[in-house]
């Protein structure tokens, strides 16, 4: 064990400790490793892959009642690419209670973040914490200076509400997709969408595909593929019902009833 720790710098140890403490609030050692993105099964460190390149400051802007997988999925990818600092900020800072009562944190206070290279806004049904004018202003401020402005799921509605997506194509969860029009954005049903420096993923699980895409954009396709192999991202779902076009009609109609307005992509988030 001493040889293992000798190879790690103090900075790496400090970073791993922060991430483990942060993830442990989410419950369970296995989940801690997944959320932190710093360990492989068996406790081995996840190797940084690809070329180093310019240091990248990547921020997830999370919030109360947010969806864990929207940012945990892409974080699993992005935390493994080299020379990249992944940060988490929220409107109030500190621990954040997500959907299902999962507590994640601590986080930085969004107002205290001065500048980042990439901002990513994940989604949720309840967007109210991010739709306050002062919070949208911080999203807009960071987005204007960022190299890339990104989102997963309904996070694109938050970006659109901040004013930064006017005239830009964007993905969103299919049930909410056309809500983007109300803020001047152009809905795009693709799983991952790129429009200049704006990148977005569709609903929830599309965040992993988005993570792969932005990793390739930042560090190249080979580095992204190395991470894909490291995390064994080789999806083979037992069913093909992940979007309305593919789902059996009985399944699709049942979900339409669960989600009012979703048939037309106009389900209303909580604002």
Q: What is the pLDDT along the chain (271 residues), one digit of tens a residue?
A: 333 223 333 333 344 444 443 443 333 333 333 333 333 332 233 344 545 678 999 999 999 999 999 999 999 999 999 999 999 999 999 999 999 999 999 999 999 999 999 999 999 999 999 999 999 999 999 999 999 999 999 999 999 999 999 999 999 999 999 999 999 999 999 999 999 999 999 999 999 999 999 999 999 999 999 999 999 999 999 999 999 999 999 999 999 999 999 999 999 999 9
Mark whether 120 is an active-site residue: no
| Chain position carrying tokens 């932005």 | 214
| Biggest CA pair distance of the chain | 59
DSSP state of 39: B
- Whether residue 119 contacts residue 61, with contact meaning beta carbons closer than 8 Å, is answered with yes
CA distance 81 to 91: 27
Partnered with residue 97 across adjacent β-strands are: 103
pTM score above 0.85: no
Considering 26, 32, 110, 153, which one is annotated as catalytic?
153
Angle at 33 between CA 31 and CA 37, to 5 degrees: 115
Task: Name the token pair of 180.
Answer: 């983007």
CA distance 237 to 96: 31
The three-class DSSP label of residue 23 is helix
CA distance 242 to 144: 33
**What phi and psi values does residue 216 have, to the nearest 5 degrees?**
-65, -40
């Amino acid at each position: 064990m001493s040889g293992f720790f000798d190879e790690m710098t103090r900075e790496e140890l400090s970073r791993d400790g922060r991430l483990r403490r942060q993830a442990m609030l989410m419950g369970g050692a296995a989940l801690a490793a997944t959320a932190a993105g710093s360990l492989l099964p068996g406790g081995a460190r996840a190797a940084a892959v690809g070329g180093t390149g310019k240091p990248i400051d990547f921020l997830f802007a999370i919030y109360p009642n947010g969806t864990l997988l929207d940012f945990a999925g892409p974080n699993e990818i992005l935390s493994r690419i080299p020379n990249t600092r992944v940060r988490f900020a929220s409107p109030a800072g500190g621990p954040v209670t997500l959907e299902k009562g999962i507590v994640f944190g601590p986080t930085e206070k969004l107002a205290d973040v001065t500048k980042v290279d990439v901002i990513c806004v994940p989604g949720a049904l309840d967007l109210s914490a991010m739709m306050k004018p002062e919070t949208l202003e911080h999203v807009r401020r960071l987005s204007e200076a960022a190299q890339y402005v990104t989102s997963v799921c309904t996070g694109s509605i938050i970006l659109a509400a901040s004013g930064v997506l006017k005239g830009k194509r964007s993905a969103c969860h299919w049930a909410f997709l056309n809500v983007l029009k109300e803020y001047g954005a152009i809905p795009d049903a693709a799983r991952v969408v790129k429009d200049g420096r704006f990148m977005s993923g569709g609903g929830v699980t599309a965040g992993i595909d988005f993570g792969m895409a932005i990793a390739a954009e930042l560090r190249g396709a080979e580095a992204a593929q190395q991470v894909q192999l490291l995390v064994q991202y080789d999806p083979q779902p037992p069913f093909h019902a992940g979007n309305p076009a593919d789902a059996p009609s009985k399944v699709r109609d049942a979900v339409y009833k669960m989600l009012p307005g979703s048939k037309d992509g106009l389900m209303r988030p909580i604002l």
